[in-house]
Amino acid sequence: MSGSAQRANEHLATSEPTKAYSFEVSSAATCDLVAQVLRQTYPEADCELDFTTPLELLVATVLSAQCTDQRVNAVTPGLFARYPDAPAFAGADLTELEELIRPTGFFKTKARHINGIAQELCSRFGGEVPDRLDDLITLPGVGRKTANVVLGYAFGIPGITVDTHVGRVARRLGWTDNTDPVRVEHDLMDLFEAKDWTIVSQDLIWHGRRCCVARKPRCEQCPVSQWCPASLTTAGIDQ
Ligand code: SF4
């Protein structure tokens, strides 16, 4: 058992007695309890992308599509040294930009988006990343997921980020029946106070990467299994 799972189980041993599945899955109390246990399980959970400015986080998040954060972090130091601001990205030679980000995959599309984002930032936002979701999602290749990451971690504005991990774990926990990310986002917004949106998203991402993995969720090690209706049925599923 991992140290984090151990800590969580110790917490559980001193909190609620286990009485499997005698709860209302999506009650506020249950959701808060699960969120608390995940918080204690992953105290180090944070955005795993390296950045120092909103622009760097926006670019890193674009690069993280279909790529590990570790690989993105290996690429971005050289990238940000070569292109330190939006005008630099806007004026980039696309071939050179593609080569610098090639290790992250889908590099032609990502280069086009980053270049387009930078041009939009220069022409419409004074070269700065806007701090409004409605503005962010007008940028090339920027959806609600990317926008909420930037808002949450670069600006401290809470948002629910729904990636594949958040959607999967939330469905297994019974917090949503939806597969559409926007609907999942709104279901989770209804379940938690706004101040908790960013950290709840991050903890679900960490839990989905480390325990509630897609094909073989590790329910026997899971610190929230006693509150999870899927723990009885998830052997080998991918939902
Ligand atoms: S009990 Fe299993 S399905 Fe439920 S959250 Fe934990 S790992 Fe995922």
Quick one: pLDDT band at residue 28, thresholds 50, 70, 90? confident
pLDDT for 29 equals: 86
Asked if residue 67 has pLDDT above 80, the reply is yes
> Average pLDDT, stretch 214-236?
86
pLDDT of residue 236 exceeding 70:
no
Three-state SS sequence of the chain: CCHHHHHHHHHHHCCCCCCCCCCCCCCHHHHHHHHHHHHHHCCCCCCCCCCCCHHHHHHHHHHCCCCCHHHHHHHHHHHHHHCCCHHHHHCCCHHHHHHHHHHHCCHHHHHHHHHHHHHHHHHHCCCCCCCCHHHHCCCCCCCHHHHHHHHHHHCCCCCCCCCHHHHHHHHHCCCCCCCCHHHHHHHHHHHCCHHHHHHHHHHHHHHHHHCCCCCCCCHHHCCCHHHCHHHHCCCCCCC
pLDDT reported for residue 19: 38
Q: What is the pLDDT of residue 27?
A: 80
What pLDDT shows up at residue 131?
97
What class does CATH assign to 54-128?
Answer: mainly alpha
Ligand 1 site, CB within 6 A: 169, 172-173, 211-212, 217-219, 222, 224-225, 228, 230-231, 234
- For ligand 1, atom 2, the nearest C-alpha belongs to 219
**Domain map (residue ranges) of the chain:** 3-46+160-232, 54-128
Mutation to probe ligand 1, out of 18, 31, 171, 224 (largest number of atoms < 8 A from CB): 224
CATH code, residues 3-46+160-232: 1.10.1670.10
Tell me the whole-structure pTM to 2 decimals: 0.82
* CA 228 to ligand 1: nearest atom: 4
Task: Give 113-172 pLDDT, tens digit per residue.
Answer: 999 999 999 999 999 999 999 999 999 999 999 999 999 999 999 999 999 999 999 999
